[in-house]
Chain A
Amino acid sequence: MADSICRTIRDGALEGEHAPSLTIKDTTASPYGFDVFTHVLSQTASLILAGKSQSRGLVVVAYSRSPSFYLDYLKRSGVDVASSQKWIHILDCYMDPLGWKHQLAETGILPSNSSADSCLFQDVKDINKLHSLILELGSGLVGQGKVRFSVAIDSVTEMLRHVPLSKVAVLISDLRSHDQISSIFWLLHSDIHDVRVTTSLEYLSSMVASVESLNQSSDGLSGDLGNLSLLEQNFRRGKFHVRFKRRNGRVRVMNEQFHMGESGIKFTSVTVEDGLVSQGLVPKVLFNLELSEKEKLERARVVLPFEHQGNGKPIQIYDGRRSLAPESMGEVSADTSQSNTEECSNGGGEIIYFRDSDDERPDSDEDPDDDLDI
């Protein structure tokens, strides 16, 4: 649920705990992870501006888009970017990540141009420098002290091109445990990486949002032109699956559908409950220990093998030794045994009881082991 994600990011971190962190992952089958990222970004930005969130500033580490793209996007989404200097800093790792343009400018081949709004970062292989720069920019926005800021990493996939996984993991976990960070979220294209990378980043995050396609076929080639329009339509839709790690150790799983429209991504809730997730977790049981209502009624109707049924009239229980209607009991027993069988046939439940010995008195609570003399 996109709203729940934004709420969790808005609420931020508690004292002494790690900051909430979100992994948004997608695949080529449904490549809308970036749209989800920008959606979360614009929601976070508007909450920060409105003063409703714990964080008072936002640092965006931009690898895959230029800073002007983000500013334009935020403007289009209705966020006021006029005062952007005060609450957002975009660390530009897109224009010149390895410092080549800078080197060429120094030799005079390329004209140098500097951008005022964003901070140009030219050394993406140096993760320590990136770390300190993020913190510097953030505290530049919110000042030193107890006020916090959020961090958004455009694409961890791009980051992993330059820096090994362990260093990225160190960066993320250091940021999470920093006192001034309120929340952190990033985008990952999971099919590009090893499984280990994806699981490591999921390990470090408190929320995992995955963008999946509606079509289950992995290759996407159905070969039927007639279905092409349907495929196209379905391509613009998909499933949005989120797993929240709660503080008590439980995992909340939520599902939504999304639709890519002209104005961006829209989320709708799923009507059909997806029971597949929980089915895998529960051990398959042989015995169903619960009773349905019908079964409870049946159980109530079963006649127990006591002579005294508690309703005033004693019944004779067939115990396999005597004939059904002994002469000593007379007609009473015949009636009651008949009514007994009648009840039994109505209820469907019957208890057949054979007495151990003729000496045993009916409705006796004697424990035969009492006779033992040990």
Chain B
Amino acid sequence: MAATKTRTTLKSSAVLMAHFFVSSGIPDLDKTLGGGIPLGSLVMVMEDSEAPHHMLLLRNFMSQRLEKGLRIAWQYKKYFGENQSNLDAQRDNKQYFSNEFDLWRPLDRHFYTTQHVDCISTQDLPNLAPLQECCTSFLSHFPSDSNIVCTGRIAIQSLCAPQCENSSMEWEMLSFIIALKTTVRSANAVAIITFPSSLVSPSFCKRWQHLADCLVSVKAIPDEDKELAKLLTGYQDIVGFLNINKVPRINTQVPAVLEATTLSIKLQKRRYLVLECLNQAPIDGSRGRSYGTSGSCSGSPSQNGSLDF
């Protein structure tokens, strides 16, 4: 059953420039990225330390193909129990190859324990070598060949969280990311890493951003803010902003020009994740592509500088 499902999926998936796409789990994001996340790419999400929106992205990403062989590396094992979403397979199969996920409905435990789903916590690890070994052994199950039977997904949450001993070993983390990127590139898999950008030193933050094939950042918005309410329509429903800093361009020289780089994150009926364009036009096109500074725009009241979109 798993194999047939994959074949129908691949038939309906966007095949662009001989590249297969994998859904991120969020139809709006797939649309904006031009079909999805290309196989073999590394997605990095810059977290905002004040908002948990990166968890929404991760949950949708992992729920998308839960039956396909999924590798989860958590910083905290506790979240694995919390992270339950249901695969709503009946909906939306026609439009794109992703589904809408009801984030509130719990998934039956047997659904993912029998599948190839692994979870590892890095909190107590002295260094990242065990994590790297696990990733490599997992990815060896998905060799890159023309006959794509199934794809693998790796999700790493909060790579540089302060609770980890290895969070101060920045060069080690950098080499881990490079190793992961090269292994993922030569496998039928996609990896997504989220990290709190305010906790990484600026030079390393820049390095990590450059390493990513696809770079996305999430941002919290102030609550009950009259100014924002006046400027944005639908402010009541918006829970945060998603900024697409870099679109994956593998095997192509054509640059991607997005209609909008900043999307608002909304939860419809508190369950379904929806991304929408902001109902305003950004003023300065020259600032639109700089993703270096958006990582530093988190929280503290002393950083009142203008937000670079």
The residues of A with any CB-CB pair to B shorter than 8 Å are 16, 165-166, 169-170, 173, 177, 196, 199-204, 208, 210, 241, 243-246, 248-253, 275-287, 289-290
Contact A250 B51 (CB under 8 A): yes
Cβ contacts under 8 Å, B110 to chain A: none
Task: List 27 A-B pairs, Cβ < 8 Å.
Answer: A16-B82, A166-B162, A166-B165, A166-B167, A169-B163, A173-B163, A203-B162, A203-B196, A204-B162, A208-B300, A243-B50, A243-B299, A249-B52, A249-B239, A249-B240, A251-B50, A252-B222, A277-B222, A277-B301, A277-B304, A280-B307, A281-B307, A282-B227, A283-B283, A283-B307, A283-B309, A287-B280
Contact A283 B280 (CB under 8 A): yes
Cβ contacts under 8 Å, A177 to chain B: 76, 78
The answer for the CA separation of A290 and B306 in the assembled complex, in Å, is 22
- New A-B contacts (4) at CB < 8 Å, excluding given A250-B220, A285-B283, A286-B283: A166-B164, A250-B223, A284-B306, A285-B281
List which B144-162 residues lie within 8 A (CB) of chain A.
Answer: 161-162
Q: How far is the CB of B278 from chain A (nearest CB, A)?
A: 8
Q: How far is the CB of B9 from chain A (nearest CB, A)?
A: 31
Contact B227 A278 (CB under 8 A): yes
Q: Which of A201, A241, A245 contacts B51 (CB 8 A)?
A: A245
Contact B221 A281 (CB under 8 A): yes
Q: Which of B53, B301, B309 contacts A249 (CB 8 A)?
A: B53
Contact B228 A281 (CB under 8 A): yes
The answer for the CA separation of A245 and B300 in the assembled complex, in Å, is 12
Q: Is the interface of B mostly helix, strand, loop or mixed?
A: loop
Closest residue of A by beta carbon distance from B49:
A203
The answer for the CA separation of A287 and B280 in the assembled complex, in Å, is 8
Closest residue of A by beta carbon distance from B270:
A248
Contact B167 A251 (CB under 8 A): no
Q: B252 at the A/B interface (Cβ < 8 Å)?
A: no
Closest residue of A by beta carbon distance from B305:
A280
The answer for the CA separation of A200 and B196 in the assembled complex, in Å, is 9
Q: B262 at the A/B interface (Cβ < 8 Å)?
A: yes
Q: B198 at the A/B interface (Cβ < 8 Å)?
A: yes
User: What total of A-B pairs shows CB separation below 8 Å?
Assistant: 127
Contact B49 A202 (CB under 8 A): yes
The answer for the CA separation of A176 and B300 in the assembled complex, in Å, is 22
The answer for the CA separation of A244 and B220 in the assembled complex, in Å, is 11
Cβ contacts under 8 Å, B231 to chain A: 282, 285
Cβ contacts under 8 Å, B196 to chain A: 203
Contact A251 B164 (CB under 8 A): no
Contact B225 A278 (CB under 8 A): yes
Q: How far is the CB of B114 from chain A (nearest CB, A)?
A: 24
Closest residue of B by beta carbon distance from A202:
B49
Contact A253 B222 (CB under 8 A): yes
Closest residue of A by beta carbon distance from B232:
A282
The answer for the CA separation of A173 and B78 in the assembled complex, in Å, is 11
Q: How far is the CB of A215 from chain B (nearest CB, A)?
A: 15
Most interface-central of B221, B225, B306 (chain A CB within 10 A): B225
Cβ contacts under 8 Å, A285 to chain B: 231, 280-283
Q: Mark B198-225, 1 if CB is under 8 A from A, else 0.
A: 1101000000000000000000111111
Contact A251 B82 (CB under 8 A): no
The answer for the CA separation of A160 and B101 in the assembled complex, in Å, is 43
Contact B199 A203 (CB under 8 A): yes
| Given known A280-B307, A283-B282, contact A251–B222 (CB-CB < 8 A) | yes
Contact A210 B198 (CB under 8 A): no
Contact B239 A248 (CB under 8 A): yes
Q: B11 at the A/B interface (Cβ < 8 Å)?
A: no
Cβ contacts under 8 Å, B222 to chain A: 250-253, 277-278, 281
Contact A202 B227 (CB under 8 A): no
The answer for the CA separation of A202 and B198 in the assembled complex, in Å, is 10
